[in-house]
Amino acid sequence: MIIGIPKETYENENRVSITPDTTSKLIKLGFKVNFESGAGTNSFFSDDEFIQSGAIRVSSAQELYNSSEIIVRVQRPRSEHDLSMIKSGSTLISFFYPLIDPMISRYTSDRGINVLAMDLVPRTTIAQKMDALSSQMNLAGYKAVLIAANELGKIFPLMMTAAGTIRPSKVVIMGAGVAGLQALGTAKRLGAIVEVSDIRAAVKEEVLSLGGRFIEVETDEDMQDEKGYAKETSDEFLKKQKELIFKHITGADIVITTALIPGKKAPVLVTEEMIKNMRKGSVILDMAVEFGGNCELSEQDKLVEFHGVKIIGYSNLPSMIPVNASELYSKNVLSLLQHISKEGKIEFDLQDEVISSMLVTYNGEVKLPQLLEKLKLSK
């Protein structure tokens, strides 16, 4: 089977879905690999590197899609033009977020395109190497701290000088998932005092082990699903949480929000009232801005200022580290293809836990139960 590596079409997307190093490994597995000219340019991988790894260069996106049976992208196609180029019967592998935009899934189903969503990799031991969400959010948590630190008019660490002592900055992180824990570790290494809030009491030990202080909301509710993700909270819990974190946020120099609920709009955790009470010159970085935002005043892909507080809403932080982000994503895809293929051909075993969790559409049918329900409601 021929794997196609197209140029990413999203604005500000610098990653490439497969790197030259991974290309050579896919060829050893029995695949052929085509790439669109310039596909790796923004992530500093040249056409020559792809050619040396055994890939074949094609000059246009249309030619690439026509010649490929498996399309590997980072971002899902958003436009009908992008989708229309994918052949019926071919397989698309990318971040897809089917519950956020269900109509794209209906289109791929009608066209007979098989979709494997990299955002739906199950959190199991066997699938760890395929977990692209974790690999990308790890990098995003690191970059978030650096961006926020750069906008803050203070240094992070305690510093004792002849002119006096500089107190360390205080960082509050909302959400202790992969991104939040990496942000915690990075901020601690830079010398800040770090507090972390999460609705899942189970993550408290991880926060403490990394040197953070855990902001805990007392509740009898079970706030974690069977996959380890945060559940959607009740209004009563959300009210309790906001009351508790008010004093922590208003006393912070930097607030980084990472809270997401799969398939749902991101919960608003930082209100305008909180922002009004923060110190002038403080910084908020909203990592959930693409999915509605955790901060009431954040704007997607913009740095804005309200009430003397800078609010950063950059939606694609991994793309700002395109070399490492592409390398990790590419390895995630390689691990997936090693798992689901034999002698250069994908085998769709619908009983396989990995495939059944990731498969959005197959042979003209929607396969994801939650999506089926959503599509029924949208009719």
- Please indicate, yes or no, whether residues 315 and 328 belong to a single structural domain of this protein: no
d(CA 229, CA 154): 34
Domain housing 296: 138-320
- Please indicate, yes or no, whether residues 266 and 280 belong to a single structural domain of this protein: yes
The secondary element (H helix, E strand) that includes residue 178 is: helix 178-189
Do 33 and 56 touch, CB atoms closer than 8 A? yes
Residue 93's nearest CA partner among 262, 317, 340 is 340
| pLDDT tens column, 348-358 | 999 999 999 99
d(CA 257, CA 266): 10
Residue 379's pLDDT band (cuts 50, 70, 90): low
Do 268 and 293 touch, CB atoms closer than 8 A? yes
Residue 5's pLDDT band (cuts 50, 70, 90): very high
Q: Can you give the pLDDT at residue 261?
A: 84
Q: Is residue 377 part of a domain?
A: no
- Please indicate, yes or no, whether residues 160 and 263 belong to a single structural domain of this protein: yes
Q: Is residue 253 part of a domain?
A: yes
Catalytic pick among 82, 119, 131, 198: 131
Q: What is the mean predicted confidence (pLDDT) over 302-316?
A: 97
Number of domains in the chain: 2
Residue-level length of the chain: 379
d(CA 214, CA 197): 6
- Please indicate, yes or no, whether residues 163 and 286 belong to a single structural domain of this protein: yes
Q: What is the mean predicted confidence (pLDDT) over 108-118?
A: 95
Q: Is the pLDDT of residue 130 over 70?
A: yes
- The rounded mean pLDDT for the chain is 93
Q: Is residue 311 part of a domain?
A: yes
Catalytic pick among 24, 106, 111, 229: 229
- Please indicate, yes or no, whether residues 145 and 125 belong to a single structural domain of this protein: no
User: Is position 131 annotated as part of the catalytic site?
Assistant: yes
Enter the tokens of residue 371. Answer: 């999506």
Q: Is residue 227 part of a domain?
A: yes
- Please indicate, yes or no, whether residues 118 and 241 belong to a single structural domain of this protein: no
Catalytic pick among 88, 128, 234, 370: 128
Q: Is the pLDDT of residue 229 over 60?
A: no
Residue 93's nearest CA partner among 187, 18, 151 is 18
- Please indicate, yes or no, whether residues 58 and 8 belong to a single structural domain of this protein: yes
Domain-terminating residue out of 279, 294, 320: 320
Q: Can you give the pLDDT at residue 220?
A: 60
User: Is position 362 annotated as part of the catalytic site?
Assistant: no
Q: Is residue 378 part of a domain?
A: no
What percent of the chain has a predicted confidence (pLDDT) above 70? Answer: 95
- Please indicate, yes or no, whether residues 59 and 170 belong to a single structural domain of this protein: no
Domain-terminating residue out of 320, 341, 361: 320
Catalytic pick among 134, 300, 341, 356: 134
Domain-terminating residue out of 320, 342, 359: 320
Catalytic pick among 57, 106, 111, 123: 123
Region of residue 293 (left: phi > 0; alpha: psi -120 to 50; beta: else):
left
User: Is position 189 annotated as part of the catalytic site?
Assistant: no
- Please indicate, yes or no, whether residues 112 and 156 belong to a single structural domain of this protein: no
User: Phi, psi at residue 298, to the nearest 5°?
Assistant: -75, 150
CATH of the domain at 106: 3.40.50.720
- Which residue shows structure tokens 């507080």? 309
Q: Is residue 38 part of a domain?
A: yes
- Please indicate, yes or no, whether residues 108 and 147 belong to a single structural domain of this protein: no
Q: Is residue 379 part of a domain?
A: no
Q: Is the pLDDT of residue 79 over 90?
A: no
- Please indicate, yes or no, whether residues 211 and 269 belong to a single structural domain of this protein: yes
- Please indicate, yes or no, whether residues 273 and 365 belong to a single structural domain of this protein: no
Q: What is the mean predicted confidence (pLDDT) over 74-91?
A: 90
Q: Is residue 230 part of a domain?
A: yes
